[in-house]
């Protein structure tokens, strides 16, 4: 379920704050949104290998990027 939440958050950033998403192109916004769509609408067609690989590789990389992205988001709000 958490991957769906991550993907939904990515969709909201892309739709509501496209400029911010473009500035932070190093974040795989489209990939996260796509994964969310596959998981939310794939029902019984979800391939666990397709889900497990990003958990092992893409999620740790994303976690490294997020502190800088979060700081920039905070700077833009203040």
Please choose, from the candidates 29, 34, 27, 30, the residue with its C-alpha nearest in 3D space to the C-alpha of residue 62: 27
Tell me what the mean pLDDT of segment 57-77 comes to.
89
Q: What is the set of active-site residues?
A: 36, 41
User: Average per-residue pLDDT in the chain?
Assistant: 89
Q: Please give the share of the chain, as a percent, with pLDDT higher than 90.
A: 59
Domain that holds residue 23: 2-77
- Given this model, what pLDDT does residue 15 score? 97
- Given this model, what pLDDT does residue 45 score? 79
What are the tens digits of pLDDT across the range 21-51?
999 999 999 999 999 988 888 767 788 887 8
**Alpha-helix residue ranges (DSSP H) falling in the chain:** 2-16, 18-23, 29-42, 48-56, 58-77
Number of domains in the chain: 1
Burial class (CB in 10 A: 0-12, 13-18, 19+), 51: middle
Q: Is the pTM of this model over 0.75?
A: yes
């Amino acid at each position: 379920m958490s991957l769906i939440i991550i993907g939904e958050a990515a969709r909201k950033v892309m739709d509501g704050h496209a400029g911010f998403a473009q500035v932070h192109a190093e974040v795989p916004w489209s990939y996260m949104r796509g994964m969310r769509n596959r998981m939310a609408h794939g029902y019984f067609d979800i391939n666990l290998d397709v889900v497990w690989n990003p958990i092992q590789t893409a999620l740790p990389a994303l976690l490294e990027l997020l502190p800088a992205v979060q700081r920039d988001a905070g700077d833009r709000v203040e």
